[in-house]
Structures are given as structure tokens and as C-alpha cells.
């Protein structure tokens, strides 16, 4: 849970709590009630991957240089012949590229699932999702261009990435969930796995992606994983229900995972743990 104090009208972090949640605008404090230590997001005695910071200049963003976090799985060796599938993991509104590791503990989730042999070892890319200053219009189209033209080519050249769309996925939460759905469904030539956690679902999905829904056999072959989830107490839950109903009516294979709870990392960690074992599992030739 995150919280802050309001002092003279200004929101500020708790000055005596060392755990800070950095955000795109302002910061807040973190408090977490631990479980029994067996949760997927807890650090366990298993082999661990690494999280690296890459500094990537962007032509799309007027030569800005932004840092992109990249997780590499246990045993990753840049000198070896082994190649890996790649997942683009996006954050929500007012979060940063560090959110998925600092709070979501995504690296521990991947470590633990790989150790349990429930997930394929993969490289995971976490970029900053605010391509324009937060609150300005047109963020998502600019971010899509930034991701596809700046981040994707550099990262996939720098790391040992397996070729082909069947080895590329994109998922995210909230704003990032909407970005993942929009980018993934607009580019099924690039992505075989698409997912959203409590996603800010783009409007008019039925008409925007009509070509996909009108050809379910081809779409089902291309989207080897199509997953979205939302808490029943979340204000975005109804939109996910409606998307589920529409996809079902169109005979589009997908997984909708409704849960209890709200719009927070309690659920997003859980959803990442659910979708990761589905990724890059071969279901036959396309």
C-alpha cells in the first residue's frame, strides 16, 4: 500500500519511513504487511536473474536519453549461443520504469517461476511509459512509436533474443495494460502474447480491431496468449467484463481472470504470476 501526508496543501512522503515509492509526479511512502514468505514475489533461495539499467537515446522523443530496466534470467550469458524470448512489461499512470521491480517485485516472480519450472526463462524489458509529460494528451500514440522505433530495436540487438513474433510478448497494468492491449493488437505481426492487468481498455475495441475479430481462426493462431484480469472492486472492472463478453461472442480465445480486490499491486503481482507461465508455450505451428 502507498500513502502520503498532506501538509499545508502539499502531498508529501512520510519523513520517517525509509521506503519511498517514486512516481512520475510526486512521491509517496510504502507499507507492506508480509505474508509467510512463500509468495511468488518474495525473495527465495533460488537462482536469481539480474536487473540492468540501459540508457537509450530516443529519436522519437527529440533525442532524450531515457533509462530502460531489463531483467535477464538466471544463467543468462551474453557470450553463449542460447537465445531467449522477450517480454515488454509496462507500468501504470504516475508510475516509473522502476515500479515493477521496486514495488511489483517482478524479478522475484520471474526467478521463482523459472526455478519451479513453471515459466520459460525470458528477458523482460521495463521502459518509462510517459512518453510526454504526465497529463498531456497523446501519450499513448507517442509511447507506441517510442517503444517500437527506439526501445525494441536497441534492446533486441543488445541482448540474446530469439527471433520471430512467437518469441515476443507485451503486458502491463492500468495505463500500461491499455498500452499493451493497443500496441499488441495493432501489431500481431510483432507480438504473439498480449495481456493487461486492471487495464485501461482503449475505447471502441470492437470496431478498432474489427479485422481481428472477423477472422477468429487466424487471430487465435496468432495470439498464443491473450490474457486480462481485474479486481471486482476496481472501477475498471466493468470494462474488462464487457471486453470478455465481446471476445467470447466473436469466438476469440482469451483468458479473463476476475479476482477480488482493487486497483493495486496486490492484484498486479498475482496477475503477473498467472500470466507468466502461459507465455511462449508452443501450441502448434501458426
Domain boundaries, the chain: 1-33, 40-278
Written out in words, the top-level CATH class of the domain with range 40-278 is alpha beta
pLDDT of residue 283: 54
**Phi and psi angles of residue 208, each rounded to the nearest 5 degrees, phi first:** -60, -40
CB 263 within 8 A of CB 234: yes
pLDDT of residue 286: 39
pLDDT of residue 285: 39
**For each of the chain's 286 residues, which pLDDT tens digit applies?**
778 889 898 888 888 888 877 777 777 888 877 777 788 999 999 999 999 999 999 999 999 999 999 999 999 999 999 999 999 999 999 999 999 999 999 999 999 999 999 999 999 999 999 999 988 889 999 999 999 999 999 999 999 999 999 999 999 999 999 999 999 999 999 999 999 999 999 989 999 999 999 999 999 999 999 999 999 999 999 999 999 999 999 999 999 999 999 999 999 999 999 999 999 986 543 3
**pLDDT tens readout for residues 174-191:** 999 999 999 999 999 999
Amino acid at each position: 500500500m502507498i500513502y502520503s501526508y498532506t501538509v499545508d496543501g502539499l502531498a508529501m512522503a512520510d519523513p520517517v519511513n525509509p521506503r519511498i515509492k517514486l512516481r512520475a509526479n510526486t512521491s509517496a511512502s510504502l507499507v507492506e504487511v508480509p505474508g509467510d514468505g512463500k509468495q511468488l514475489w518474495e525473495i527465495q533461495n533460488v537462482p536469481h536473474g539480474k536487473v540492468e539499467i540501459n540508457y537509450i537515446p530516443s529519436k522519437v522523443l527529440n533525442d532524450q536519453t531515457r533509462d530502460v530496466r531489463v531483467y535477464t534470467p538466471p544463467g543468462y550469458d551474453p557470450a553463449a549461443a542460447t537465445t531467449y524470448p522477450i517480454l515488454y512489461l509496462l507500468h501504470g499512470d504516475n508510475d516509473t520504469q522502476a515500479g515493477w521491480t521496486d514495488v511489483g517485485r517482478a524479478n522475484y516472480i520471474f526467478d521463482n517461476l523459472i526455478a519451479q519450472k513453471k515459466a520459460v526463462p525470458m528477458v523482460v524489458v521495463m521502459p518509462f511509459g510517459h512518453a510526454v509529460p504526465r497529463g498531456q494528451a497523446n501519450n499513448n500514440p507517442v509511447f507506441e512509436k517510442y517503444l517500437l522505433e527506439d526501445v525494441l530495436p536497441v534492446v533486441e540487438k543488445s541482448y540474446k533474443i530469439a527471433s520471430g513474433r512467437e518469441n515476443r510478448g507485451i503486458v502491463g497494468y492500468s495505463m500500461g495494460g491499455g498500452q499493451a492491449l493497443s500496441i499488441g493488437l495493432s501489431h500481431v505481426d510483432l507480438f504473439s502474447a498480449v495481456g493487461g492487468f486492471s487495464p485501461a481498455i482503449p475505447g471502441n475495441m470492437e470496431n478498432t480491431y474489427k479485422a481481428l475479430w472477423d477472422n477468429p481462426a487466424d487471430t487465435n493462431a496468432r495470439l498464443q496468449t491473450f490474457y486480462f484480469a481485474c479486481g471486482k472492486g476496481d472501477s475498471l472492472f466493468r470494462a474488462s467484463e464487457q471486453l470478455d463478453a465481446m471476445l467470447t461472442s466473436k469466438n476469440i480465445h482469451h483468458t479473463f481472470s476476475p479476482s477480488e480486490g482493487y486497483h493495486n499491486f496486490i492484484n498486479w503481482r498475482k496477475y503477473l504470476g498467472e500470466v507468466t507461465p502461459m507465455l511462449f508455450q508452443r501450441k502448434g505451428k501458426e
